[in-house]
Every structure is written in structure tokens, then in C-alpha cells.
Structure 1
Amino acid sequence: MEQTRRLITELPGPKARALMERQDAAVARGVSTLMPTFAVRAQDGILEDVDGNQLIDLGAGIAVTSVGASAPKVVEAVQRQVAEFTHTCFMVTPYEGYVAVAEKLAEITPVSGPVRTALFNSGAEAVENAVKIARAYTGKQAVAAFDHAYHGRTTLTMALTAKSMPYKHSFGPFAPEIYRVPGSYPYRDQLDGHTAAARAIAQLETQIRAENLAAVIMEPIQGEGGFIVPAPGFLKDIVQWCNANDVVFIADEIQTGFARTGRWFASEYEDVQPDIITTAKGIAGGMPLSAVTGRAEIMDAAHPGGLGGTYGGNPVACAAALAAIETIEEGRLDQEALRIEKLVLAHLEEIQRQDPRIGEIRGRGAMLAFELVDPQTQAPDAALTSAVASAARQAGVIALTCGTYGNVVRLLPPLTISDELLEEGLTVITDALTAA
């Protein structure tokens, strides 16, 4: 595909409007969409819609198509596997692809000692099963998550997720024995990492107690909560407390994994080794796959038959995962993420010097964001954020928002995007900010 932004109709165009009418008639109202159009093709930094418009992709399907939406190795691997067989259910008749993915995850994940993996379909499934495993291993029930966390949309993972609308509102009651403690949000709480960790640990000890606590789960960079990077030392102190108190530490790397932050996993920046890591999104180049990877003694605590699912570790998805990981390795896409970071930060920091509504720029690698605020009070400005993102989308740039307060613009481009497209997309977004 030509890597050029091109609008030949307004958004939505006539074909997109017709599809919207069909969507309204056939798709449940709760499944909402952001872009005012429908995709037909995508490659690297460009997505083409049904009306022939070409849009700059700064979302990558929410950090899924990190290797590109049609990476050649992934396409070839999927086509080859589909021609051989599409499904047997690994629990019935196993196949090599599942084993090969587990072996590769043991090689690249920062977990010490012998490692085991179980494969599933979605990030929420991975989180649910990580909790099951931690409870089986420890014989305890309580699980702690942090303010601003996002861990999924199932009953258990909604309980772990902090934000009510749109994720939890009207869907309760939720799973019991889930507790929430304050995390580290340096821009808002102004605490260093050790002080923030001590505050969280005090609540863990007084509100739950270690003898009741099976696991602590945390995103090394909080995604939906606002791309919040904890202050240095916070994550390490929490992990050390867990290790000293026989509490399983689960790193939710579903959005941060597979070179998105410039390393295989964001935990590596903090020099910690989780007991369990949950992964999904960028693992398989767009195919549905997730994984729970952890220390063998913990992973093996679940009894035979206690883990699984009909589609978990589907052979086509496993083939895609092996090809996606190979693409990351051969293309050195971790370095591409750092290239993206350098370009984005230079652009945003220049704009920030002129515009105090950008309260903070944060993130790592190709997982970056800026928080929009009232420059006088630093209060979150969700209305401005929504206006900026909407204007960018109308101009042909796929722009996403996030944050507990709805005031963060997040950037998750494919790691294969060109400098030129990335700079153009950023210019569209920051021009929208200036216009607003």
C-alpha cells in the first residue's frame, strides 16, 4: 500500500454511511466504535476505508498490530496453517505450535528459573487464569489491584478494573475478594516511588494482610488508566514486598508487551522479575491469542484439566504468534519503538513549551501519551481531549484517548510506521489542539 494519508470523501463517506445503517440494525448498541468509517485494508502506518480514504494509524488496534496489520511473515504463517488444519482443541489432540509458542515465551519473558505457559484467547482470559493459578498455588483468595488499573471486561476482571464508565457501570455485582490500593501517579500525587509504594503496602497490610492475599496484579505502565508510568522504585518495592510475604506478583503486560515500550516487556525497565506475566494484544500480529507465563512451581499448582478452553492456543493464532515474534526479532522492532519515542517526544515537547494545556507527556517506546488539563488548576480537561481526538479522526488520523478522567491522548502506532507518516499524524493532532 502507498503510505500516504488521503481523503477523497468526507468521513464517513457514502459506503461507510450505508454500513453504519446496517451496523445500527444488527450490532448491539453496547459495542460502540470510534472511527466514523469501516476498514478494508491496512499495512504499516496506513489503513484504507471502504470509500478509498487512507488514514494514518496511530492506534494499531489498541497496541495489537505492532508488527503491522498485514505483516508478511504473519500472513504467510496464517495461510500455511489454515491450509493444514484450523482446529483440533489442544486439550483433545495437541500440536507443535502451542508447544513452540510456550518455548518461545519461556525464552523471552523476564521470569527466573524454569517457566511454564498456558495459552488462551484474550487478555481478560489471561488475567482470570493468572488469578486462578495464584489462588491454587497459595491457597489464599484475596487479590489486590491498583487505582487507575484496567484488566478486562469479564466479571472478575471488571472487579480488578478501576474505571466505572464504560467498563463497570450497571454490570455488577462483581467477583468478591478483590481489593484496591493506591498506586503511583507522579504527575498527580507528587510522590517518589518509595513513598508511594510504602503507602500502598501499608494498605495491603492493614486492609487485607499478607496471610489472606494470593496475588497483587499491576500493569508496569497503566494503559487505559492514562499511560501512567510509576515513579522509579515503586514497582520494585511492591515486588520485593510480595516476595517477602509469599504473595504472587502478576505483571499485566497485555498492552506493554512485545517490544511496544522498546523492550520485550516493560517490567525490564524496573529490573524486576514477576512471578507471572499475562500477555495478549501484540503477541500474534492481530490474531486472538493470550498467554499466562510464570514460574513452573506456580504454574503447575493448577490440577490437570483445571486450565484450558476450547479455542485456547488455536493453531492458526500460534502460527501467527511465532511469525510475529520472529518479525520483532529480525526487524529489531524494539529499536523501532525507541525511534518512535524519540520522534514523538521531540514533537510533543516543542508543542508543550508553547501550550500549557499539555500537563504532562509520558510513556515509553511507542506507548506514549499527553495529558490535557486546565493550565491554571491542572484539572483534567476531558472535553478538550475529546474535541482534539474527534478533529484528528475527521482529518484522517486514527487517534485514541484514555485516562481515568478521560483527558489523555494516547499514541500506539505500529512499530513499522515511517517517520514521515508519524510526524504528519502528530501534526494533525497538535493542529487540532491549537484549533481547539
Structure 2
Amino acid sequence: MPEQRRILATAIPGPLSLERQVQRKAELANGLGTTMPVFIERAGGGILVDVDGNHIIDLASGIAVTSVGASHPAVTQRIAEQAARFTHTCFLVTEYDGFVDVAAALNRLTPGEHAKKTALFSTGAEAVENAIKIARTATGRTAVVVLGHAYHGRTSLTMAMTSKNAPYKQGFGPFAPDVHRVPSPYPYRWPSGPEKAAEEAFAALEEIVTTQLGATNVAAIVVEPIQGEGGFIVPPPGYLAKVQQFAHEHGIVFVADEIQTGLARTGAMFACDHEGVVPDLITTAKALAGGMPLAAVTGRAEIMDAVAAGGLGGTYAGNPVACAAALGALEVIESEDLVGRAREIEARVRPRLEAACGPDSVVGEVRGRGAMLALEFVRPGTTEPAPEVAKAVVERCHQEGVLTLQCGTYGNVIRLLPPLVIGFDLLDEAVDVLLDAIAAVGALETQA
């Protein structure tokens, strides 16, 4: 593991990263974006080390993937051992224990005490697509309902389910049919105020499903228990439970997309647990395999079994090396109580972030749960989105060796997703840098 301290050996990006950017531009498609233009050679704990020797504090975790760190021995050792035995057979051709063991762990950890079954895939978008396939087969219906501000992936079907146009959808249509959007209960931006968001958003969903779509035509309602790319939007209390109950009353499969929120990130094993909501199907990926590509759909056994043999799968689905990594990552999440650690991160960081809010601040709201926290940037004294302010804060953080990510439908949110194993000294230092950047950019905004 690299030394766990921030080191600025060069400007960021440094000369060696800049050299590599020239080759990147020549060799790679322009459509592949970059958040921080540095090339990493080592990573672990809460630190990324670039080719110039800069030690960067990681508040991104590869977008919530490396929750146990990027090189935890429990993961890397299992990867090496499995790779030495075999790297692939395709589970649909010849079987191996790792696939079954990961499924068993997810059946145990996901919400609810009912009988469950799991199918493994490679990416989050693939898991979401397969959840829709399963729901459509189980119900004999086709319509899918999603929320405004949702993000579910970049494939043809999941692009249709994703709300934000640029950069995810622009120019890529036409999209898959029979996907329908209902308002998201976004408390900070709900027109009649946050106290009415749950009731009014649910009423809109109920009206659209029953009168416009016909509930008997709807296969699934798919929700992120906390919306990720949309801006870390936490639904108001009671909303998810109302949607779940409505779905059950009408024979609709309730799908929780926990790809970003799942596996300890929010201070619960799954974000649904905060509300006591038990989904029919739940999708996982990202943190599941500690950096290896692995995803899953877990759900009620009778729904999962609706698809005939051969209807689910994929050449690389549940790759044995990825399964080995997942068993290591899940072991760490449980044995090191990373659920509790996420709560400690929130208790340590959130009050400091909230202190940056105020009527004259560029920070309009701090929100999130556990180690999934965000700041929404606005014009001081208004709720007008200020994406250029968020961008300026991110750029200052990057120059100071702290990796942060921008997100949100309006591009005006900074999200914090530190590895759950990050040292508190590093975390405190990263927040210092972030708050200094907010103060500096906010002063410039006020002067303007």
C-alpha cells in the first residue's frame, strides 16, 4: 500500500502525465472523458499515486467501486490465487464454486427474509437490463417506470431509463420504447417545498401509472434509493415505502438500483435498509468486487425463476477472478464493519460541510448518507444552479491533490465517495482542502 499522506511532488497534472495525455489523445476515442488528467501507477487505502509521484487523496473510489481500497490484500490475494488456477471457463459452460458463493452471500445480505436467488453479470447497466428482462418475463407486461434525475447506465435500454441528456444520451437515439418517467421527489428543488415532496411526487407517480399507462401494463418501477448521477438526491422519508406498497398492490415488480448505494456505502448494508424497504429485485455492482467487473441481480426466488434456462447470462458474467475478488471484498465489508465506518465518516465530515452553507454561500445544500455525501452549488441567495462554481471548486481541489467528482442533472453538485477504509487524518485533510477551495471560489463569486 502506498504511503498514506498527501504529497505534491509536481504540479497536477505533472510532466509525465502530460506526456501520456499526448499518446492518449492519439490512441483513444474522444468520447472517453477524463475527470482528473493524471495517470495512476499505484493506489490503496485513501491514496492514489500518479506517475509523477504525487500522492492524491481519493474522494472518488473509482465512482464508489473501491470501497475497501484499490489494493486490499483480502482482494488482491484472492485474485492472484484464482488467476493461477484458471481465469475463465464461462459459468454457463462449466461451473465453479465462486459464482455460487457470491450468489449465496448476496442472498444473505440483501434486504428481506424471503427466499432469494441471484444471477451474476459484469456491469451495473447489464444488471439493470437483466432486472427488466426478469420483471417483464415474471409479469407478462412491458412498461417500465423510472424517476426524473435517474441514472441507470449507458446501454440502449438503460440510456432510455437515464434522465440526463448530455453527455449520456445526446446523439445516441432512438432509445428503447415503453420506458416512462415520473417526477423525482427532489426536496431541495420541489416547487411547493420539501415538506410536500414525498406526497406530491407519489401522487404524480400514482396518477401516471394508473391513468396514463394502466397499472396492468407496468412490469417494473425502478428507483435508486439515493439518486447518484442525478446529484445524490435523498428521497424524503416515506416515499420509497409508498412506492413499494403501490407496486405490490398492482402486481408491479419493485426494483432497487443499489449499484452506487449498496454494500455499506450509505451507513447501511443497502440504502433501502434506512427506510425498511424490501425490494422485489435489487441490482448491485461497483463495490461488489473491489475493482473487478462484477454485477448482480438478487430477488424473490419466484420472480428470479420466471426466466427459462438460457435466458440469462453472458460470456463473462460472474467471471471466476471477479468472483474471487468479490468474496474478498464482502469479507472485508463485514469483518471490518464498513457499515459502521461509513456512519463514522458521515459524523465526521457532514457537520463541517454544513458549516459552509448559508444564505450568502455558494453551497445551497449538503445532503447524502454515510460516505455518500454531496454539496449542491448555487448562486448565493438563490437556488439557481451554479455548475461553473462547482467546476472551479473541483479544479482547485485537483490542483491541491484531492480528487473530487462533479455530478448532478445541472452539473452543479460535488459528490464525496471516499474509500470506506480511508484514514481519518487523510479525510480531515481532504475536507480542509475542499472547504478552502469553496471559500476561495465563493469569495470570487461574491466579488463578481
Sort the TM-score into its range (normalised by shorter chain).
over 0.9
2:50 corresponds to which letter in structure 1? D
Q: How does 1:30-179 map to 2 (within 5 A)?
A: 30-179=31-180
Q: What is the distance in 2 between the residues matched to 1:249 and 1:372?
A: 32
The one-character-per-residue Cα deviations of 1:148-193 (angstroms, maximum 9, x if unpaired) are 0000000000000000000000000000000000021011102242
Q: 1:179-237 deviations in whole A, cap 9, x for unaligned?
A: 00002101110224233212221122122111110000000000000000000011000
Residue in structure 1 matched with residue 240 of structure 2 by the alignment:
235
Aligned residue for 1:409? 414
Q: Is the 8 A contact 2:48 2:58 kept in 1?
A: yes
Cα offset, 1:381, TM superposition: 0.5
Contact 1:192–1:232 (CA<8 Å) still a contact in 2? no
Q: Which residue of 2 aligns with 1:393?
A: 398
Q: Secondary structure at the match of 1:351?
A: coil
1:26 and 1:236 map into 2 onto residues whose CA distance is 49
> Identity of aligned pairs, percent?
56
Q: Which residue of 2 aligns with 1:16?
A: 17
Structure 1 residue 292 and structure 2 residue 320: aligned? no
Q: How big is the shift at 1:34?
A: 1.0
Q: In 2, Cα distance between the equivalents of 1:355 and 1:342? A: 25
Instruction: Map Cα deviations across residues 259-318 of structure 1 (whole Å, 9 max, x no partner).
Output: 000111000111111000000000010000000000011000011100000000000000
The alpha-carbon deviation at position 430 of structure 1 amounts to 1.5
User: After superposition, where does 1:226-265 map in structure 2 within 5 Å?
Assistant: 226-265=231-270
Amino acid at match of 1:79: A
Distance 1:352 1:141 in 2: 44
Structure 2 partner of 1:324:
329
Q: Distance in 1 between matches of 2:41 and 2:325?
A: 20
Q: Distance in 1 between matches of 2:57 and 2:140?
A: 49
SS of residue in 2 equivalent to 1:369? strand
Please say if residues 65 and 286 of structure 1, whose CA atoms lie closer than 8 Å, have aligned partners that are also in contact: yes
In structure 1, C-alpha distance between the alignment counterparts of 2:127 and 2:13, rounded to whole Å: 36
- Does residue 335 (structure 1) correspond to residue 340 (structure 2)? The answer is yes
DSSP-derived class of the 1:352 partner: coil
Q: How far apart are 1:377 and its partner, in Å?
A: 2.3
Task: Give the 5 Å matches for 1:416-435.
Answer: 416-435=421-440
Correspondence for 2:445: none
State whether residues 253 and 280 of structure 2, in contact with CA within 8 Å, keep that contact through their aligned partners in structure 1: yes
Aligned-partner residue type, residue 416 of structure 1: V
SS of the residue corresponding to residue 240 of structure 1 reads helix
Which residue in 1 is equivalent to 2:271? Answer: 266
Could you tell me the TM-score, scaled by structure 1's length? 0.99
Residue aligning to 2:446: none
C-alpha displacement at 1:356, in angstroms? 2.2
Distance of 1:207 and 1:333 partners within structure 2: 43
What is the Cα deviation at residue 354 of structure 1? Answer: 8.4
- Aligned partner of 1:105: which letter? L
CA contact (8 A) 2:186 2:197 kept: no
CA–CA separation in structure 2 for the residues paired with 1:95 and 1:134: 27
Matched, 1:29 2:27: no
Counterpart AA for 1:337: A
Q: Which moved more, 1:393-402 or 1:122-131?
A: 393-402
Alignment-mate amino acid for residue 135 of structure 1: R
Match of 2:372 among 367, 384, 398: 367
Give the counterpart letter for 2:41 in structure 1. Answer: V
Match of 1:49, as an amino acid?
A: D
Counterpart AA for 1:30: G
Is the Cα contact below 8 Å between 2:129 and 2:157 reproduced in 1? Answer: yes
Query: 1:314 — aligned with what?
Result: 319
Greater shift after overlay, 3-12 or 225-234?
A: 3-12
| 3-state secondary structure, aligned to 2:208 | helix
Separation in 2 of the partners of 1:353 and 1:379?
A: 14
Q: Which moved more, 1:337-346 or 1:183-192?
A: 183-192
Question: Partner of 1:149: helix, strand, or coil?
Answer: coil
| Code of the aligned partner of 1:403 | G
Unpaired runs of at least 5, structure 1: none
| Contact kept? 2:358, 2:364, Cα under 8 Å | no
**1:112 positional shift:** 4.0
Give the counterpart letter for 2:272 in structure 1: S
Q: Deviations over 1:8-62 (max 9, x none)?
A: 1111211111110110010110001111211011111110000111000000000
Contact 2:255–2:282 (8 Å) recurs in 1: yes
In 2: Cα distance, 1:329 partner to 1:434 partner? 38
In 1: Cα distance, 2:331 partner to 2:430 partner: 28
Give 2:288's match in structure 1, choosing from 283, 289, 311: 283
- The amino acid of 1:424's aligned partner reads E
Structure-2 separation of matches of 1:349 and 1:266: 22
Q: Distance in 1 between matches of 2:15 and 2:350?
A: 37
Residue 125 of structure 2 aligns to a residue whose secondary structure is helix
Displacement of 1:122 after TM fit? Answer: 0.2
* Secondary structure class of the residue paired with 2:355: helix
SS of the aligned residue for 2:88 comes to coil
What amino acid is the match of 2:151? Y
RMSD of the TM alignment (CA)? 1.0
Q: What is the CA–CA distance in structure 2 between the aligned matches of 1:207 and 1:383, rounded to whole Å?
A: 38
**CA-CA distance at 1:358 after TM superposition:** 1.1
- Contact 1:252 1:278 survives alignment (8 Å): yes
Is 2:267–2:343's contact at 8 Å kept on the other side of the alignment?
yes
Distance 2:373 2:381 in 1: 24
Check whether the contact 2:360–2:381 (CA below 8 A) recurs between aligned residues: no
SS in structure 2 at match of 1:227: coil
Q: Is the 8 Å Cα contact of residues 183 and 200 (structure 1) preserved in structure 2? A: no
Pick from 280, 284, 308 the counterpart of residue 303 of structure 1.
308
Which amino acid in 2 is paired with 1:94? E
What is the CA–CA distance in structure 2 between the aligned matches of 1:76 and 1:270, rounded to whole Å?
A: 36
* SS class of match (2:255): strand
Once the 2 structures are TM-superposed, how far is the Cα of residue 376 of structure 1 from its aligned partner?
2.5
TM-score between both structures, scaled by the size of structure 2: 0.96
